[in-house]
Structure 1
Amino acid sequence: MKHTESENTGVDWRSESTSAPDVTRRERLREVYEDGVRTPLLVAWADWRTRFGLLIVGGYLAMALVAVFGLWREPSTSQAPRYLMLFENMNYPLGTTASGTDLAALIIYSTPDILLMITAGAVWATGVAVAIGTIAGYKGGQVDQALMSFSDLVMAIPGLPLVIILAVTLNPENPILLGVIINISYWAGLGRSLRSQVLTIRQNDYVEASRTMGVSTPRIIWKDIIPNLMPYVTVNFVFAARYVMFASVGLFFLGVLPYSKQNWGVTLNFAYSGGALFSWSAAHWLLAPMLAIMGLSLGLILLGQGMDRVFNPRVRTRMAGESKSTASDDEDTGLTEVL
C-alpha cells in the first residue's frame, strides 16, 4: 500500500486548511480591536483633559445613580435647621434653604433629568445636522437646494420665542422631550456648516474612487465622509449639550417651564425669591446650583476637547505606530528570554 506524503510526515492536510481561515479571522478581529478600541482609548487617555472630563462627568453620573436608587434623602423629607452654611453640618454638606431643605438633595435629585435633557437635546441637534448636512453636501443639485432652503427657513425663526411657545403649549414634563424642544432649531446652523465641509471632502480622491467603484451612497457617507466630520461634530455636540443645560435652567428660573420636576433653575428661582441675592447667610442657596452648572459645563468641555484628539488621524496614526512598536519590543524581549 502506498502512503501519501502527508501520511508519511504525520501531518493532517485538513487541519492546515482549516487553521488558515482561523488565523485570518483572528488577525482581522485583532485589527478591528486595535483600530476601533485600543488606539482610541490610548489617544483619549493620553490627554489630561479627557481624564479630568471623565472624572467630572462620572461624578454627575454617580449623583444620578444615587438619586435613581434613592441613596440620599429626598428634598421633600429633609427637615434641618434653616440657613445652614456650606460644610457647617456634614449631614447637610451644601447647607439648607429657608425652609430647612437639604441643598445637596436638591442638587442630586435634579441631576438625572438634567443629564437626560442635555443628552437628548445634543443627540437631536447633532443627529439632524449630520444627516441633513452630509446628504445635502454629497448629493448636491435639487436635494441640496431643498434641504438648505428648509434649513434657512428654520434659521429665520427666532429660537427662544419658538421654544417658549412650544414649552407653554405642550407643557412638557418628560426631560427627553424638553431637551428636544429646547434644541428644536439648533441643528440648522450646524447642518449648513457641515454641508460646506462635505462639499470639500467629496472632492477627495478616495471618495471619487469609491464612487467610481459603484459603492452605495449611504456607505460612502458613513465610511468616507462622516469620519472626517467627527472632530467638528464632537465639539458641537458638547456645545449643544451646554446650550440645553443653560437654556433649561434659564427657562425654569423665569418660570416658563413647569415646576413639576426638580431642576437647578427651580432652585435658583426659589433662592432669588427667598432673598438669597441680598443676604450673605443665604448666599450658598444660589452658590450650590451655580457650582453644579459650572462643574458639568467644565466637564463636558474638557471631555469634548479630549475626544477631539480621538478623531484626529495624525494623532491616531502616531499612537498606533507607538503601540505596534511597543508590541514588537515585547515580542523581541520574550523571544530573547526564551532563547
Structure 2
Amino acid sequence: MSRTETQTPPERTEKPAPAEEATKGLSQGRIVAKKFLGHTAAVASIIVFLIILLLSITSQGIGPIPGWWHYGFGDTPPLVNGGSPTWKLPFDFGDHPFGQDRVGRDLFAMTMRGTQISLFIMFTIGILAGVIGIIVGSLAGFFRGWIEAILMRLTDVFIVIPTLIAAAIVGRAGGQNGVLVLGIFLGLVTWMLLGRLVRAEFLSLREREFVDAARIAGASNARIIFKHILPNTVGVITVNLTLLMSAAILTETALSYLGLGVRAPDISLGSLISQNQAAFSTRPWLFWWPGLFIVVICLCINFIGDGLRDAFDPRQKKFSLRSIKRLSAAMMLSGQSSTGSFGQYATGSRAAVNEVVKDAADEDRSLSAISRSEREADEDERTAREAQTLAEPGVVTPDERSSTLYHGTPAEGGQNSRLELDDDARGTGPGGATEPRRRGFFRRDGR
C-alpha cells in the first residue's frame, strides 16, 4: 500500500445508554409501578391499610353478611377480668383482646365497626369530591372564557360555606341514613382545592406543543381533554386525592367527637373517643385503640400519597440507603488502593462503583421514558408545522434560508453573496454607507 493511500477507519457503533436500554419496552405505567414498589414506606402502608380494611369488613360483616368475630358491636356479654384487655403476647388474644367498656361491650367489635363506618365515609368523600373536582377543573382550565368565570365563581361560593356547621345540620337531618348523607354532603363541599389544582394543570398543559399537534391533526375537544391532557394530570390528581381522603377521615372524626356526626346505634372512631374520654384515667385502653387506628389510617394514606408523588414525578431521583453505603465503601476502598496498602481491594471497589452506577441508571428509567414520549410528540408537531409551511407560497424553509444566507442564490452571486453582505454592513461595498444593498433572504422575490 502506497503512502498516499489512506485507510478508512472502521465505523464505530455507539452503544445505547444504560438508562435507554433499561427503559426499552417498558410502558409509563410499569415504570410508575416499579418506582412505587421501590418506595418502602408506601408499600408497607398499603399492606397495613389493606389489613385494617379487610379486618374491619370481615370481622363485623356487611349488611346481612355476618362476620367471623363472635361478638357484635352491640352485644353486652359479662365483664371478663374487669373489662381489661385479654390479649397476651404473642398470639393469645382471649375473648376480648381490646377490652370491654363499663357495660360489657367488646371494644374490638366496636373499633372494627367504627373503622368500617369511618372508611366508608372517607371513600365516599374521596370518590365524590374527586369526580366533581376533576370535571370542574378540567372544564374551567380548558375552555376559559365565560365557562371558567362561572365555574370559578361557583367554587368561591362553596369555599365560603362553613363545612363543619353545615355537615352537623345535614347529619342531624339524615335520620337512619345519616352516614350516607354525611358522606355525600362532605363530598359536595370538599372538592374545591382539587378543582383549582386540576384547573392550574390544564391551563399549563393546554399551551403545550402536543396539544397544538392534536388540534392540527383534527382531534375534538373531548379527545384532547380525555386522551392527551387528563392522563398527564393523573399524578397531581392521585396525590391530592390521598390528602383529601386523609383530611376527610379527620373531619368525620371531629364531627363525631363533637356529637354532630354519626349517631347511635351506629358508631365511628370519633364517637368511640367521645364516649370514652371520661374513662381515660381509669380505663385508658378504651381511648387508646380508636385513637391508634385513626393515627395509623391517616399515616398510611399520607405515606401512600408520598409514594405516588415520587412515582409520578420523573424529577424525583434519589439514592437508597443501600446505594449510599455501597458508594461510601467503594470510595474508601478506592482511596486505600491508591496508597498501595490495599491494592487487592481495587477490583472489589470497582465492582461496587459499577453496581451503584447501575442502581442510578435504574432510577432514571422514569425520566428517560417520559422524555422520550415528549420528544416524539414534539417531533410530530414540528413535522406538521413544516408541512403547513411548505404549503404556503413564497415562504422559504429553514434549510433553504440557511443555504441562501451563507451561499447566496445564483442570481446574487453564489458564494460571494455573504461577502457582499459583510461589505454593505461595514459601508465599504459597492453600495457604500449611503446606499446599502438589500437582499431578500426570507422571500423568493427579494422584497
Band of TM-score, shorter chain? 0.7 to 0.9
1:242 equivalent to 2:242? Answer no
Counterpart-to-counterpart distance in 1, 2:146 and 2:305: 35
CA shift at 1:60, angstroms? 1.3
Determine the structure 2 residue equivalent to 1:13: none
Q: For the structure 1 residues 305 and 166, does the alpha-carbon distance in structure 2 shift closer, same or farther, using more than 3 Å as the test?
A: same
- Equivalent positions of 1:153-164 (< 5 A) are 153-164=157-168
Contact 1:183–1:240 under 8 Å retained in 2: no
Instruction: Give secondary structure in 1 for the equivalent of 2:44.
Output: helix
Instruction: Give secondary structure in 2 for the equivalent of 1:173.
Output: helix
- Equivalent positions of 1:1-339 (< 5 A) are 34-35=26-27, 38-63=30-55, 64-68=57-61, 69-72=66-69, 73-77=71-75, 79=77, 80-81=79-80, 82-85=82-85, 87=87, 90-91=93-94, 92-171=96-175, 173=177, 175-257=179-261, 258-272=263-277, 275-277=278-280, 279=281, 281-313=282-314, 318-319=364-365
Instruction: Give secondary structure in 2 for the equivalent of 1:76.
Output: coil
Let me know the Cα RMSD of the aligned residues: 2.6
Counterpart-to-counterpart distance in 1, 2:363 and 2:206: 22
Q: For the structure 1 residues 44 and 175, does the alpha-carbon distance in structure 2 shift closer, same or farther, using more than 3 Å as the test?
A: farther
Contact 2:167–2:182 under 8 Å retained in 1: no
CA shift at 1:71, angstroms? 0.9
1:206-257 CA distance string (max 9 Å, x none): 1111122221212211222222222221222112212221121222222223
CA shift at 1:320, angstroms? 6.3
Q: For the structure 1 residues 266 and 55, does the alpha-carbon distance in structure 2 shift closer, same or farther, using more than 3 Å as the test?
A: same
Instruction: From the two aligned structures, give the one with the greater helix fraction.
Output: 1
Q: For the structure 1 residues 75 and 260, does the alpha-carbon distance in structure 2 shift closer, same or farther, using more than 3 Å as the test?
A: closer
CA shift at 1:203, angstroms? 0.9
**Higher alpha-carbon Rg:** 2
The number of residues matched between the two structures is 288
CA shift at 1:263, angstroms? 1.2
Say which is worse superposed, 288-297 or 178-187, in terms of deviation. 178-187
CA shift at 1:52, angstroms? 1.0
Counterpart-to-counterpart distance in 2, 1:309 and 1:168: 41
Say which is worse superposed, 260-269 or 125-134, in terms of deviation. 260-269
CA shift at 1:175, angstroms? 3.8
Say which is worse superposed, 283-292 or 206-215, in terms of deviation. 206-215
Contact 1:110–1:263 under 8 Å retained in 2: yes
Contact 1:125–1:183 under 8 Å retained in 2: yes
TM-score (norm 2): 0.59
CA shift at 1:121, angstroms? 0.3
Instruction: Give secondary structure in 1 for the equivalent of 2:270.
Output: helix
CA shift at 1:314, angstroms? 5.5
CA shift at 1:137, angstroms? 0.6
Contact 1:254–1:269 under 8 Å retained in 2: yes
CA shift at 1:124, angstroms? 1.1
CA shift at 1:204, angstroms? 0.7
Contact 1:135–1:144 under 8 Å retained in 2: yes
Contact 1:114–1:175 under 8 Å retained in 2: no
Counterpart-to-counterpart distance in 2, 1:75 and 1:140: 52
Counterpart-to-counterpart distance in 2, 1:230 and 1:309: 13
User: Which consecutive unaligned segments of at least 5 residues does structure 2 have?
Assistant: 1-22, 317-361, 370-447
CA shift at 1:322, angstroms? 10
Aligned-residue sequence identity (percent) comes to 22
Counterpart-to-counterpart distance in 2, 1:36 and 1:112: 34
Instruction: Give secondary structure in 1 for the equivalent of 2:288.
Output: helix
User: Which consecutive unaligned segments of at least 5 residues does structure 1 have?
Assistant: 1-30, 324-339
Amino acid at match of 1:65: T
Counterpart-to-counterpart distance in 1, 2:60 and 2:35: 33
TM-score (norm 1): 0.77
Q: For the structure 1 residues 143 and 230, does the alpha-carbon distance in structure 2 shift closer, same or farther, using more than 3 Å as the test?
A: same
Contact 1:125–1:184 under 8 Å retained in 2: yes
CA shift at 1:289, angstroms? 0.2
Amino acid at match of 1:265: G
Counterpart-to-counterpart distance in 1, 2:149 and 2:47: 44
1:60-98 CA distance string (max 9 Å, x none): 122122322411121333523233047368312222211
Counterpart-to-counterpart distance in 2, 1:321 and 1:200: 20
Counterpart-to-counterpart distance in 2, 1:104 and 1:139: 52
Counterpart-to-counterpart distance in 2, 1:260 and 1:218: 47
Amino acid at match of 2:104: G
Contact 2:111–2:290 under 8 Å retained in 1: yes
